[in-house]
Amino acid sequence: MEKTRILMVCLGNICRSPLAEGIMRAKLFGRNNYELESAGTGGWHVGDPPDPRSVAIAKEMGLDITGQRGRQFKATDFDRFDHIFVMDNSNHRDVLKLARTEHDKQKVSLILDTLFPGENVDVPDPYYGGNDGFAKVYDMLDQACEILKERL
């Protein structure tokens, strides 16, 4: 069976997109026709594990994301993935800059378009904030991924 390939993208690939990957992976558990990865538009955290605060909230919710490692988004990801979900408008611009064709561009959408269609709502970057930011991000991503699961 042909697989559907999904990529979650944020800036650093250590806070938001690893959570999105972990949450979506858990929701798709038992379905073998999906592949899921995450990436960052920036390169500062290539090879790094997720931020300890993302690891902690995931653990609290029963998910283990410690095996993930940061990597940078690249143009060839447009060839490998069917759907590219970005966390915020800045990620959206950065990913679209690397698109080579209209077909590439059509693969990209804001993940919160699932909950707030057409409103261009960001998943706020929790990197410089406190732990409650990570809980809020988790909650938003959980709701968004629940909708994605139904639609994909």
Q: Which residue, 4 or 142, is less far from ligand 4NP as judged by CB?
A: 142
Among 6, 7, 16, 78, binds ligand 4NP (CB under 6 A): 16
Interface positions, 25-64, toward ligand 4NP (CB under 6 A): 40, 44
Report the distance separating Cα 25 and Cα 89, nearest Å. 24
Total residues interacting with ligand 4NP, rule: CB under 6 A: 11
With binding defined as CB under 6 A, does residue 10 bind ligand 4NP? yes
Among 6, 7, 8, 13, binds ligand 4NP (CB under 6 A): 13
Q: Report the candidate in 137, 148, 143 with the shortest Cα–Cα distance to residue 58.
A: 137
With binding defined as CB under 6 A, does residue 148 bind ligand 4NP? no
Report the distance separating Cα 123 and Cα 118, nearest Å. 14
Q: Which residue, 34 or 127, is less far from ligand 4NP as judged by CB?
A: 127
Q: Which residue has the tokens 């904030």?
A: 129
With binding defined as CB under 6 A, does residue 116 bind ligand 4NP? no
Q: Report the candidate in 13, 7, 25, 15 with the shortest Cα–Cα distance to residue 62.
A: 25
Q: Within a 10 A sphere around the Cβ of 119, how many other Cβ atoms?
A: 9
Two tokens at 126? 């929790």
Residues that bind ligand 4NP (CB under 6 A): 10-16, 40, 44, 125, 127
